[in-house]
């Protein structure tokens, strides 16, 4: 299986995202922490195995929407399939489609995964959490169980079965227990037997029949034991008959191996190595021959090319002249540019003179007494005229505004004078108010104790507040800031409390006083209010009258100032008019032009005069250029007239022909240099190609020496002989493994030693056993019938109804116990068979896995550790180092221990690759690796990607240069 595309509808932080892996065997998904790498890995597991509802809640989309997505995979048959899961559809069950969009069977995905479930996938192919990493190391049984689960089509059914069997056995029977069903039946049967013995008739007949029944039962028991023995023997014979082809093949191979030497000296994978070397060497030898032919052809081309080359001196002269031609071209371009500039300046001068419409010519401009002083004079006159005119307008407007303000203020003052009291009226009003106050507040009240107390307190308050303020001012002006702050705060607090107390006291006094004055007449009080309002209105209008008078005086003063400024501006206007007339007399074309346009006119006239000067300078430069160009053309034609026929009408064509000639010669020179360089390279390649053949030829000779032959023909013959011998050995070992799986060890040893029955003898013995079993069954049935008759007689001898009921209950309980015991025995036998199967997997497949894991671990640690094995005494892993020292897991560093667990995973996956090829999901699984071992791990992953697809989640790009180049265009960067 290979993942080709992921499309997330909504899963955790990802929403509507798509990633393509196409045909990449090794892909890298890189991103910082919290970038979403683990979420993508969880999504892949969700698509393959699903999630329970509670766990799906963890990955609900953060921004809303449905949880789910689809994944396109390449199946084991090479076709593309689509897996889709959606949270709210069929409880997120997988719906699979083929490449034509047809819906597949519900169990298609399980079959495609070859029965691998999430637990097993995490143990082998998912490198997020090391599922094999357990406290105290690995036991042989733990690895055996993992291998067994893989061997049982990748499911955990065997573990579930074992768990159910153990639970069922515990529920049925426990030694010394009371709650299990069989324990209760045994107890019940014992109690019933005691009761039954108490009720049984003691008649001799009953005892005689009872003894006879017991004899029958003893004989039946012996027959049943014999039947069991014969059945076991028959089962072994049947198993032996089933593996008879393997036994026969083993002994045939053993016989054939006698015809071969006991040991054949031949290099490991010698024939394949020899063929690879020959396949590699033949192209190298062919390359040497090709290089020799190419050298001959290159020498011929070189000699022919030298004949068409000019002397180096002539080529240098042409190149020098063409380099000078660049300057010539620049001068030609400069000439065209100057001619264009002269034409443009003539047009600009003519256009600007026409735009002025002053009937001026170039000759008139040359005679004008214009200079930069004139331009500045015109600029000053224009600015002063505009400014003076603007100020005159502003002052006239301001003068009119001031006249209006004076009129308005005079009217306002007259109105306010009518609303203000005269001195006589004010005096009379104040006298009347004083009289009313005397009536309201009689003189005798001033002697009231509360009035005296109130006046005394007010004076005391004023003194205290003055002292407090003076103290605060003195403290603030002092230099001790901290002390000042403390003292100031203390004074403020004390003063505040004091003022608060005085205010309370004052309020109380005023309340008592007000109570006593409530008897004053309402009429005097209202008259008093009316008089006070009249005086207040007088004060208000008097204040407004004073303001209006002051404002009128200010406006009058401002009026006189503006009047004087206006006279000054009129005098300035007359002076400017005189200066403008003087300039018009000097320059007649200014008569019809307003003064504000004079500065712009001066600038434009100055620009036209500058253009005339620039044009004259360009004309002089153009004359010099023409002389230089003519001299260069004459010299060039005289120098190279013999090589190229001159065309005096078109010198540029002559230069082009000269360039073509130089290009041809330079091309020939380049070809000559390249040919010479190629010749040198070919000589080096010839030496290198010949050198490349040497190690391969040497290795071929070494293979012949190891095989102890002198020719390729003898080597191939011996290779075939070795292959036949090796296949016989492997077939023999496989037959031994099959025999051991089905037969007990003691019988296996005898069979391998030659003590086994032939097929005919097996058939005869099986038939004999079956006949003996039939006879014993017949005998057993007769005894059962006789015992049944005796039981009937015994039943009739039972002397009471209670005895019959008790016997019935006793036999019913006994039957239940027998059935339960049979069921318990069956479960016990099944559990024993599972244990035996696990032991077979441990002994058969575990060495293969450890051998593969040892190879990975040795490569990963650069040969530091050579082998991984089990310590049988302590039932745990140990490592054999290159110095022959052994190490336990607790002696390893965390990084080395992680490398061991990864190697075991890779060993299991290599063993498993013959049946299942699933993608690896590795999420920064090598954090404890040092740089060297991490690079080695990346090389292992590169090799592993030839068999398994690998999706590597990391925050860093791989450090291994070869691996980094391989995945450079396959890195998915998460932001």
- Structure-block tokens of residue 397: 């407007």
Q: Which residues pair with 954 in a beta bridge?
A: 30
Q: In the prediction, which pLDDT does 140 show?
A: 44
Residue scoring higher pLDDT (461 or 518)? 461
Position 872 pLDDT exceeds 60: no
Position 360 pLDDT exceeds 50: yes
Q: In the prediction, which pLDDT does 441 show?
A: 67
Quick check: helix, strand or coil at residue 12?
A: coil
Give the Cα separation of 260 and 727 in Å (integer): 12
Q: In the prediction, which pLDDT does 137 show?
A: 43
Q: In the prediction, which pLDDT does 362 show?
A: 76
Give the Cα separation of 482 and 488 in Å (integer): 10
Q: What percent of the chain clears pLDDT 70, i.e. is strictly above it? A: 84
Give the total residue count for the chain: 975
Give 175-217 pLDDT, tens digit per residue. 777 778 778 878 887 887 777 776 654 445 666 777 888 888 8
Give the lowest-confidence range in 402-406, 685-689, 806-810, 865-869.
Answer: 806-810
Which helix (H) or strand (E) is 430 found in, with range?
helix 423-440
Give the lowest-confidence range in 9-13, 543-547, 593-597.
Answer: 593-597
Q: In the prediction, which pLDDT does 153 show?
A: 39
Confidence of residue 81 (pLDDT cuts 50, 70, 90): very high
Position 790 pLDDT exceeds 50: yes
Position 151 pLDDT exceeds 90: no
Q: In the prediction, which pLDDT does 42 show?
A: 92
Query: What average pLDDT score do residues 737-747 get?
Result: 82
Q: In the prediction, which pLDDT does 177 show?
A: 74
Query: What average pLDDT score do residues 689-699 get?
Result: 83
Q: In the prediction, which pLDDT does 573 show?
A: 82
Q: In the prediction, which pLDDT does 206 show?
A: 66
Query: What average pLDDT score do residues 288-313 get?
Result: 84
Give the lowest-confidence range in 191-195, 225-229, 743-747.
Answer: 191-195
By C-alpha distance, which of 938, 944, 936, 972 is closest to 958? 938
**Contacts within 8 Å (CB) and 24+ apart, 669-674:** 669/309, 669/315, 671/305, 672/302, 672/305, 672/306, 672/309
Give 382-426 pLDDT, tens digit per residue. 888 888 888 888 888 888 888 888 888 888 888 888 878 778 888
Q: In the prediction, which pLDDT does 659 show?
A: 83
Q: In the prediction, which pLDDT does 951 show?
A: 86
Confidence of residue 929 (pLDDT cuts 50, 70, 90): confident
- Structure-block tokens of residue 67: 């949880």
Query: What average pLDDT score do residues 812-840 get?
Result: 77
Q: Are the C-beta atoms of residues 814 and 189 closer than 8 Å to each other?
A: yes
Residue entry with tokens 């004023």: 462
- The distance from CA 340 to its chain's CA centroid, rounded to whole angstroms, is 64
By C-alpha distance, which of 520, 524, 521, 543 is closest to 532? 524
Give the Cα separation of 517 and 450 in Å (integer): 13
- Torsion on CA atoms 701, 706, 708, 709, rounded to nearest 10: -40
Q: In the prediction, which pLDDT does 515 show?
A: 57
Report strand pairing: 865-871 vs 2-11: unpaired
Give the lowest-confidence range in 508-522, 543-557, 918-932.
Answer: 508-522
- The distance from CA 57 to its chain's CA centroid, rounded to whole angstroms, is 22
Position 119 pLDDT exceeds 70: yes
Position 7 pLDDT exceeds 50: yes
Give the lowest-confidence range in 54-63, 229-238, 871-880.
Answer: 871-880
Give the lowest-confidence range in 43-57, 549-563, 835-849.
Answer: 835-849
**664 CB neighbour count, 10 Å cutoff:** 13
Distances (CA, A) of 556 to 403, 413, 559, 562: 9, 14, 5, 10
Q: In the prediction, which pLDDT does 127 show?
A: 67
Q: In the prediction, which pLDDT does 189 show?
A: 78
Q: In the prediction, which pLDDT does 68 show?
A: 93
Position 75 pLDDT exceeds 80: yes
Give the Cα separation of 555 and 332 in Å (integer): 79
Q: In the prediction, which pLDDT does 798 show?
A: 52
Position 132 pLDDT exceeds 50: no
Confidence of residue 578 (pLDDT cuts 50, 70, 90): confident
Position 479 pLDDT exceeds 90: no
Residue scoring higher pLDDT (250 or 151)? 250
Give the Cα separation of 140 and 120 in Å (integer): 18
Q: Which residues pair with 71 in a beta bridge?
A: 6, 83
Quick check: helix, strand or coil at residue 886?
A: strand
- The distance from CA 372 to its chain's CA centroid, rounded to whole angstroms, is 73
Q: In the prediction, which pLDDT does 967 show?
A: 56
């Amino acid at each position: 299986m290979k993942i080709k595309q992921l499309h997330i509808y909504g899963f955790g932080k990802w929403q509507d995202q798509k990633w393509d892996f196409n045909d990449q065997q090794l892909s890298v998904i890189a991103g910082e922490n919290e970038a979403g790498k683990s979420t993508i890995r969880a999504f892949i597991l969700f698509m393959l195995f699903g999630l329970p509802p509670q766990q799906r809640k963890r990955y609900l989309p953060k921004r809303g929407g449905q949880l789910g997505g689809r994944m396109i995979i390449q199946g084991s048959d090479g076709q593309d399939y689509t897996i889709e899961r959606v949270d709210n559809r069929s409880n997120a069950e997988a719906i699979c489609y083929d490449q034509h969009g047809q819906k597949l069977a519900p169990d298609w995905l399980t079959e495609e995964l070859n029965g691998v479930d999430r637990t097993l996938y995490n143990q082998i192919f998912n490198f997020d959490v090391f599922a094999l990493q357990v406290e105290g190391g690995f036991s042989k049984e733990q690895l055996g169980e993992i291998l067994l689960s893989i061997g049982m089509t990748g499911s955990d059914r065997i573990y579930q079965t074992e768990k159910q069997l153990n639970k069922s056995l515990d529920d049925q029977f426990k030694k010394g227990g009371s709650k299990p069903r069989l324990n209760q039946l045994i107890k019940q049967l014992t109690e019933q037997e005691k009761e039954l013995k108490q009720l049984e008739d003691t008649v001799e007949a009953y005892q005689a029949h009872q003894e006879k029944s017991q004899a029958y039962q003893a004989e039946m028991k012996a027959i049943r034991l014999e039947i069991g023995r014969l059945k076991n023997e028959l089962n072994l014979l049947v198993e032996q008959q089933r593996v008879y082809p393997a036994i026969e093949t083993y002994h045939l191979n053993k016989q054939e191996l006698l015809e071969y030497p006991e040991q054949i000296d031949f290099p490991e994978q010698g024939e394949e190595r020899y063929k690879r070397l020959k396949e590699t060497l033949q192209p190298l030898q062919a390359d040497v021959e090709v290089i020799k032919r190419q050298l001959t052809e290159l020498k011929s081309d070189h000699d022919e090319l030298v004949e068409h080359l000019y002397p180096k001196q002539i080529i240098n002269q042409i190149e020098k002249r063409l380099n000078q031609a660049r300057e010539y071209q620049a001068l030609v371009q400069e000439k065209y540019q100057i001619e264009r500039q002269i034409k443009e300046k003539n047009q600009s001068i003519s256009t600007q003179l026409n735009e002025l419409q002053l009937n001026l010519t170039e000759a008139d401009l040359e005679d004008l007494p214009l200079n930069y002083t004139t331009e500045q004079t015109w600029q000053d006159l224009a600015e002063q005229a505009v400014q003076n005119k603007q100020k005159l307008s502003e002052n006239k407007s301001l003068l009119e505004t001031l006249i209006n303000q004076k009129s308005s203020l005079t009217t306002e003052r007259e109105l306010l004078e009518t609303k203000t009291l005269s001195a006589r009226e004010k005096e009379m009003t104040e006298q009347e108010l004083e009289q009313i106050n005397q009536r309201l507040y009689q003189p005798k009240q001033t002697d009231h104790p509360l009035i005296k107390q109130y006046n005394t307190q007010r004076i005391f308050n004023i003194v205290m507040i003055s002292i407090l303020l003076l103290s605060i001012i003195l403290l603030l002006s002092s230099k001790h800031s901290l002390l000042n702050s403390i003292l100031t705060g203390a004074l403020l607090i004390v003063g505040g409390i004091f003022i608060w107390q005085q205010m309370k006291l004052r309020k109380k006094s005023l309340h008592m006083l007000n109570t006593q004055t409530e008897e004053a007449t309402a009429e005097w009080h209202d008259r008093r209010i009316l008089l006070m309002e009249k005086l207040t209105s007088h004060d208000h209008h008097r204040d407004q009258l004073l303001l209006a008078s002051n404002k009128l005086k200010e406006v009058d003063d401002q009026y006189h100032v503006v009047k004087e400024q206006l006279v000054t501006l009129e005098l300035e206007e007359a002076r400017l008019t005189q200066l403008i007339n003087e300039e018009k007399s000097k320059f007649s074309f200014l008569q019809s032009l307003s003064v504000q346009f004079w500065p712009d006119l001066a600038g434009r006239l100055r620009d036209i005069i500058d253009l005339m000067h620039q044009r004259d300078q360009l004309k002089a430069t153009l004359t010099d250029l023409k002389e230089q160009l003519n001299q260069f053309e004459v010299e060039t034609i005289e120098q190279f007239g013999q090589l190229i026929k001159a065309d005096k009408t078109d010198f540029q064509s002559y230069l082009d022909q000269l360039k073509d000639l130089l290009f041809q010669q330079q091309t020939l020179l380049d070809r000559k240099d390249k040919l010479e360089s190629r010749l040198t390279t070919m000589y080096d390649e010839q030496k290198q190609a010949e050198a490349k053949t040497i190690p391969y030829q040497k290795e071929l000779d070494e293979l012949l020496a190891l095989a102890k032959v002198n020719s390729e023909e003898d080597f191939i013959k011996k290779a075939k002989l070795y292959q036949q011998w090796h296949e016989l050995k492997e077939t023999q070992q496989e037959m031994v493994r099959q025999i051991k799986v089905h037969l007990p060890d003691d019988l296996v040893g005898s069979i391998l030693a030659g003590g086994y029955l032939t097929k005919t003898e097996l058939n005869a013995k099986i038939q004999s056993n079956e006949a003996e079993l039939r006879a014993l069954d017949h005998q057993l049935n007769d005894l059962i019938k006789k015992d049944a008759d005796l039981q009937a007689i015994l039943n009739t001898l039972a002397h009471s109804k209670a005895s019959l009921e008790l016997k019935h209950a006793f036999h019913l309980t006994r039957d239940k116990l027998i059935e339960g015991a049979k069921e318990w025995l069956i479960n016990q036998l099944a559990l024993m068979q599972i244990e035996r199967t696990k032991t077979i997997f441990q002994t058969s497949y575990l060495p293969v896995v450890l051998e593969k894991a040892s190879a990975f671990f040795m490569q990963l640690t650069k040969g530091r550790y050579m082998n991984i094995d089990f310590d049988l005494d302590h039932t745990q892993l140990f490592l054999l180092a290159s110095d022959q020292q052994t190490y336990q897991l607790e002696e390893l560093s965390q990084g080395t221990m992680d490398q061991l667990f990864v190697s075991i995973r890779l060993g299991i996956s290599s063993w498993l690759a013959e049946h299942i090829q699933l993608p690896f999901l590795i999420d920064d699984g090598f954090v404890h690796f040092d740089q060297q071992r991490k690079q080695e791990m990346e090389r292992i992953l590169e090799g592993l990607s030839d068999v398994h697809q690998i999706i590597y989640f990391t925050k860093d790009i791989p450090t291994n240069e070869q691996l980094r180049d391989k995945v450079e265009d396959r890195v998915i960067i998460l932001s």
